[in-house]
Amino acid sequence: MAIEIRIPTVLRAAVGGQTVVKAEGETVGELIESLATEYPALAGQLVGADGGMHRFVNIYLNDDDVRYLSKLDTKVADGDVLSILPAVAGGSR
């Protein structure tokens, strides 16, 4: 099934400037895999060499952080929205 994926500004150049794209898959991992196939510039930006999610990216399925669900194995359903957000951090130290 095709799921809507929201792309943050920093990654929009990799998807032709789009804010929202659609990808096919039954799990978050499959969606990301099909995204990376369609937009090769995204490959390596979301998933590390170890196959896990990059720590500087947060991925939400609707209102839930997939790290607290089943990570890349989290199942998706029709009407779900996946949001990709850059991790935002810093500080005076």
Partner 1 sequence: MDVLKISRELITRMIAHALDEYPLEACGLLGGDTEEAKEVYPARNDAASARVYTLNPLDHLKADRAAEAAGHSIIGVYHSHTHSEAYPSQTDVEKAPDPDWHYLLVSLKRSHPVVRSYRIEAGKIAEEDVVEW
Which residues of the chain form contacts with partner 1 (CB under 8 A)? 6, 8-10, 19, 56, 58, 60, 63, 65, 83, 85-93
User: Which residue, 51 or 90, has its beta carbon nearer to partner 1?
Assistant: 90
User: Which residue, 49 or 88, has its beta carbon nearer to partner 1?
Assistant: 88
- Taken in order 31, 35, 37, 41, is the CA torsion positive or negative? negative
Query: CA nearest 42: which of 15, 78, 9, 70?
Result: 15
Query: CA nearest 70: which of 6, 24, 27?
Result: 27
In the bound complex, what is the minimum distance in angstroms from residue 21's beta carbon to partner 1?
15
In the bound complex, what is the minimum distance in angstroms from residue 33's beta carbon to partner 1?
22
